[in-house]
Chains A and B, each alone.
Chain A
Amino acid sequence: MTTTIAPNTTRELRYREAINEAIIQEMERDPDVIIMGEEIAGGAGREHLGIVDAWGGAFKTTVGLIQKFGSQRVKDTPLSEAAFVGTAIGAASTGLRPIAELMFVDFVGVCMDQILNNAAKMRYMYGGQVKVPFTLLTRIGAGTGSAAQHSESFYSIFSHIPGIKGVVPCDPYTAKGLLISAIRDDDPVVFFEHKLLYPETGPVPEEPYAIPLGKARIVKPGADITLVGISKMTLVCLEAAEKLQEEGLNAEVVDLMSISPIDYDLVLDSVRRTHRLVVVDEDTPRCSVASDICAAVADEGFDYLDAPPKKVTAPHTPVPYSRPLEGVYIPNCDRVMGVVRELLTGG
């Protein structure tokens, strides 16, 4: 059975505000939750000049936290990702429940050792003696004209690491619910915010709620083909589904939501009904979440398929700067439509 994950409220928030509200509510609920990162308040140490919360985060997702919780629990850091991410992991294993913010996922190289060799492995290596309830907030996505080092959708690599969980919300509702789950979870979870989604609005319940990690959801039911979207690509899938509807084709759209664990069962169940699969992923195509899902469906759902599983992804290249090249790089509705038509007409 598929879970229905959808809000029943009319209150609208932006994606950015939903993230902010989730952090605030969890910090209110649990005094062990702290947050640290670069510019999460901004203008650090200048209270004597009346300067507090000068930035509220590079993308304003942490605005207001320092006024509410103080500089003990809301810590601006020096520009030292290896140190503060590692510190958050150490604090997580000794009684706190820290959130650390890595401004762009592209910078993960600087602190990857702490994530890969400590956060991911401590519990296993130490024979189950520790929990690492650590949340890493970071952001992904091309489309801002910021070139190769500020535009990656680098999440596949995290689903490759045993010991790390990851979520990729595509709207304000799932952003809040998944972040609350990530913070409450006793394992390390990476929360991938998509930069282009911050201004998007959608219904978000006021009270805290948790959307389970490792679950996908059907955002548009359909019978003819399954489109699986990851993060912002779910919106591209919905756009394609709408266009297909005009052509009399009924696509089902699955929002993956979690990149580890991956909800293979929901995808398989959908493909069992639609017999066709296209995964749309902004990450690069080699050894990726998209290729993993296609492989799982080929492996476990071969008999359901009337056509080969397909994926629409970025090419196996870094992100280019110039706008026309960036436009070619990012998967879009036209590319999805092209593949869908090919699958449905068989040619």
Chain B
Amino acid sequence: MDMDPQALISLYRTMVTIRNFEEIGIYEMGQRRLSGSVHSSAGQEAVPTGICAHLTDSDSIASTHRGHGHCIAKGVDPKLMMAELFGRVTGTNKGKGGSMHIADMTKGMLGTNGVVAASVPLAVGAALTSSIKGTGQVSVAFFGDGGANQGVLHESMNLASVWKLPVLFVCENNQYAESTPVEYALSAENVADRGVGYNMPGVLVDGMDVFAVHEAAGAAVQRARSGQGPTLLECKTYRYYGHTVFDNPRSYRTEEEETYWRGRDPIQLFRTRTLEEGLLQASLLDSIDAEIEQLIRDAIKFADESPLPPEDDVYTDVYVEYPLDGLRRGASMTI
């Protein structure tokens, strides 16, 4: 392990923040009867954490419908995220987007996205901007095992490879697309196998092990930054809860399977390894746990106390410039 304690602590903090955001935040959303279209990434924390540890604010990521973890790992403030989930004007998107559209351009977070795989070419576009402007930034496209079967992903991988763009294609294979098992929907054994078809490395990674993710991502980021083009990483992982809050996953997967994956919990694996190797103290990790839980509770308080958007915000940000009349005319709006 050639990571200094600060770097280790940072990985741990990120994973614990994601876990708490998902478990406490989504529960509190339910209590307030906010939108049910929320997707928890609990169980998958190691992937965005290990990948984004190599990125700076000027590198970009493009995310999915299950994107809270990506946002947190990329440095988006959980307070602003929570306010967005609660539909508040103080949210990252002023309450316009919610869970499936969280974006923070100051952090290079190009948005969670509600259309599966639709965000992938946005990351390729960010890589194009970097390559044309010569700024050395890399970008990451996150997608799921379901998204792996969308045409736009394949076109994007081909294009990025042809143009040797500095982008990582990161598949979070959590074994299911809604209730559809990956072994039913995927023609290859692994998503990573498809790298060959686009002349890029296709790397299989243990997505429950943040160190494995960190190492594989390091090599891919290095390759991208040095102008050698894209890499496909497939991280095998698992979502602990249903597809959304409405879904009972036991209707399509077994208790044994859930127990197996929970036995490889990324946060526990981290603790076991760092404690066994004497790299960190349990008391330190425990104090981080408590601190982060408080951080999430503060985020909820901030969201609760924030104002809702004024009604005429419905008309803002449709365009950079457009006559208001063009948005209202003929619709018989009351505001």
B163 at the interface (CB under 8 A from A): no
For B37, give its contact among A144, A312, A315 (CB under 8 Å). A144
A45 near B252 with CB under 8 A, answer no
From B36, B101, B150, A321 is in contact (CB under 8 Å) with B101
Contact of B252 among A42, A310, A317, A336 (CB under 8 A): A42
> What mask results when residues 313 to 334 of chain A are scored 1 for a CB within 8 Å of chain B, else 0?
1111110111111001101001
Q: Which residue of the partner chain, among B183, B253, B314, contacts A328 with CB atoms under 8 Å?
A: B314
Question: Which residues of B141-163 are within 8 A (CB) of A?
Answer: 146-147, 149-152
A312 CA to B328 CA, complexed, in Å:
10
B-side contacts of A301, CB under 8 Å: none
A339 within 8 A of B: yes
- Is A95 an interface residue, CB under 8 A from the partner? no
When the two chains form their complex, are residues A322 and B95 in contact, meaning their CB atoms are under 8 A apart? yes
Question: A51 in the interface, Cβ–Cβ < 8 Å?
Answer: yes
**Docked-complex contact B180 and A39, CB < 8 angstroms:** yes
Instruction: Tell me if B101 and A285 are in contact (CB < 8 A).
Output: no
Specify the chain A residue showing the minimal Cβ separation from B94: A322
A96-144 with Cβ < 8 A to chain B:
106-107, 109-110, 144
Interface size on B, residues (CB 8 A): 56
Quick check: is B7 within 8 A (CB to CB) of the other chain?
Answer: no
B27 at the interface (CB under 8 A from A): no
Cross-chain contact B35 with A146 (CB below 8 angstroms): yes
Using CB atoms, name the residue of chain A closest to B248: A54
A79-B147, A320-B96 known; A51 vs B333 contact (CB < 8 Å): no
Residue contact A42 to B311, C-beta cutoff 8 Å: no
Question: Contacting B330 at CB < 8 Å: which of A46, A81, A311, A324?
Answer: A311
Tell me the residues in window 307-335 of chain B with beta carbons closer than 8 Å to chain A beta carbons: 308-309, 311, 313-315, 318, 326-335
Give per-residue flags for B165-198: 1 if the beta carbon is below 8 A from chain A beta carbons, else 0.
Answer: 0000000000001111101111000000000000
* Pick from A81, A148, A285: contact of B329, CB under 8 Å: A285
Q: Are the C-beta atoms of B333 and A324 separated by less than 8 Å?
A: no
Within residues 269 to 289 of chain A, which ones have a CB less than 8 A from any CB in chain B? 285
B252 to A55, Cβ gap below 8 A? yes
Q: Is B116 an interface residue (CB 8 A)?
A: yes
Separation in Å of the A8 CB from the closest CB of chain B?
A: 36
- A335: interface (CB < 8 Å): yes
Task: Judge whether A83 is part of the interface by a CB distance below 8 angstroms.
Answer: yes
Q: Would you call B35 and A43 a contact (CB within 8 A)?
A: no
Quick one: given A106-B115, A334-B334, are A325 and B311 in contact (CB under 8 Å)?
yes
A43-B181, A51-B251 known; A325 and B96 CB under 8 Å? yes
Known pairs A46-B181, A54-B251, A76-B180; A335 contacts B333 (CB<8 A): yes
Tell yes or no: B97 within 8 A of A by CB: yes
Closest chain B residue, CB of each to CB of A325:
B314
A317 with B327: CB separation less than 8 A: yes
Nearest residue in B to A146 (C-beta to C-beta)? Answer: B37
CB distance from B143 to the nearest CB of A (A): 10
Residues from chain B with Cβ under 8 Å of A291 in the complex = 330
Q: List residues of chain B with CB within 8 A of the CB of A255.
A: none
Task: Tell me the dominant secondary structure on chain B's binding face.
Answer: loop
Known: A42-B251, A46-B252, A145-B35. A315 touches B331 (CB 8 A): yes
User: Within the complex, what minimum Cβ distance (angstroms) separates B280 from chain A?
Assistant: 39
> A77-100 CB contact bits vs B (8 Å, 1 = yes)?
111111100000000000000000
Q: Does A150 contact B (CB under 8 A)?
A: yes
Question: With a CB–CB cut-off of 8 A, which chain A residues contact B180?
Answer: 38-39, 42-44, 76, 78-79
In-complex Cβ contact of A311 among B88, B98, B147, B332 (8 A): B332
Q: Bound complex: CA of A39 vs CA of B333, how far in Å?
A: 38
B113 within 8 A of A: yes
Complex Cα gap A58–B177 (Å):
12
1/0 per position for B248-286, CB-CB distance to A under 8 A? 000111100000000000000000000000000000000
Chain B residues lying within 8 Å of A44, measured Cβ to Cβ, are 179-181, 184-185
Does B75 make an interface contact (CB < 8 A)?
Answer: no
Taking the complex as formed, is B67 at the interface, i.e. its CB lies under 8 A from any CB of chain A?
no
B272 to chain A, nearest CB (A): 31
Most interface-central of B34, B95, B117 (chain A CB within 10 A) = B95
Q: Across the interface, do B308 and A147 meet the contact criterion of CB distance under 8 Å?
A: no
Check if B100 sits within 8 Å of A150, measured CB to CB: yes
Chain B neighbourhood of A334, CB < 8 A = 334
Q: B238 to chain A: closest CB distance in Å?
A: 16
Task: Name the one of A148, A316, A339 contacting B327, with C-beta atoms under 8 angstroms.
Answer: A316
- Contact flags A180-207 to B (C-beta < 8 A → 1, else 0): 0000000000000000000000000000
Cβ contacts B75-113/A at 8 Å (1 or 0 each): 000000000000111000101111011000000000001
Give Cα A316 to B36, complex, Å.
26
Q: What's the Cα separation between A320 and B151 when bound, in Å?
A: 28
Q: Mark B109-137, 1 if CB is under 8 A from A, else 0.
A: 00001111110000000000000000000
A82–B149 Cα distance when bound, in Å, is 10
Taken together as a complex, chains A and B put the C-alpha atoms of A23 and B88 apart, in Å, by 42
Q: What is the CA–CA distance of A335 and B330 in the complex, to the nearest angstrom? A: 12
Q: Quick one: closest B residue to A291, CB to CB?
A: B330
Q: Is the CB of A150 within 8 A of B114?
A: yes
18 contacts between A and B (CB under 8 A): A38-B178, A42-B180, A46-B252, A54-B252, A80-B151, A147-B114, A150-B37, A315-B327, A315-B331, A316-B328, A316-B331, A317-B318, A318-B318, A321-B98, A321-B101, A325-B87, A328-B333, A339-B332
Nearest 8 Cβ contacts at the A-B interface: A145-B35, A322-B87, A149-B114, A43-B252, A322-B95, A321-B98, A45-B184, A54-B252
Name A residues whose Cβ lies closer than 8 Å to a Cβ of B: 38-39, 42-46, 49, 51, 54-55, 58, 76-83, 106-107, 109-110, 144-150, 285, 291, 310-318, 320-325, 328-329, 331, 334-336, 338-339
